[in-house]
Homo-oligomer: A and B are copies of this chain.
Amino acid sequence: MARAGLTAERLTRAGAELADEVGFDKVTVSALARRFGVKDASLYSHLKNSQDLKTRIALLALAELADRVAAALAGRAGKDALAAFANAYRDYAREHPGRYAAAQLRLDPETAAASAGGRHAQMTRAILRGYDLTEPDQTHAVRLLGSVFHGYVSLEMAGSFSHSAPDTQETWSRILDALDALLRNWPRP
């Protein structure tokens, strides 16, 4: 029989595509094997198990997202950088809902440490360079930004905003305005 040429890389990429098509929770070893025209058992030469597959997809998504954000951020500062970061984040989630869901997968500490998670934190901190914040306020602000972006995108994807006016694009712009104003005028205790 001709070999299918499976590798962990190809399986991970195909898994990511599958996730975007049918949802991350429906990414299964069987479905992936089907997509490659091989038997389920064949994947176990390349993947430890189902969890391993999901973790790899999550790491792929985190890295892709970090790359996008880095590109969007290049050469920008202040509110420009804030908007670029936020839009890169939101656009990725809309274009790749399955990967975005994968990126939320809870990773064990060692895996998380080796992931692109740290880059995300660094880049968020970079945005704040355009504002006048020192520690520990900077960390509080990093966490706030992370919460808003993640929370907004999650809720928007879940349809929580879809059945009421005004439209979400308008809200998104106004939230960015509000965050910019808040960062320029961060309350001291």
Instruction: List A residues at the B interface (Cβ < 8 Å).
Output: 104, 106, 109, 112, 117, 121, 136-137, 139-140, 143-144, 146-152, 154-155, 158-161, 163-166, 168, 170-171, 174-175, 177-178, 180-182, 185-187, 189
Contacts and interface: CB of A to CB of B under 8 A. Distances in A.
Contacts of A161: 143
A154 B150 contact: yes
Interface of A is mostly: helix
A143 B163 CA distance: 13
B104 A143 contact: no
A28 to B, nearest CB: 14
Nearest to A186: B178
Given A146-B160, A147-B151, A151-B151, A171 B140 contact: yes
A152 B152 CA distance: 11
A35 to B, nearest CB: 23
Nearest 9 pairs of A and B residues by beta carbon: A151-B151, A147-B151, A147-B152, A181-B187, A150-B151, A140-B174, A182-B182, A136-B166, A140-B171
A121 B186 CA distance: 27
A182 B104 CA distance: 28
A147 B160 CA distance: 10
Contacts of A104: 154, 158
Given A148-B151, A181-B182, A175 B143 contact: yes
Contacts of A112: 159
A161 to B, nearest CB: 6
Contact of A189 (B121, B137, B174, B187): B174
A96 to B, nearest CB: 17
Given A143-B171, A166-B139, A154 B154 contact: yes
A148 B109 CA distance: 25
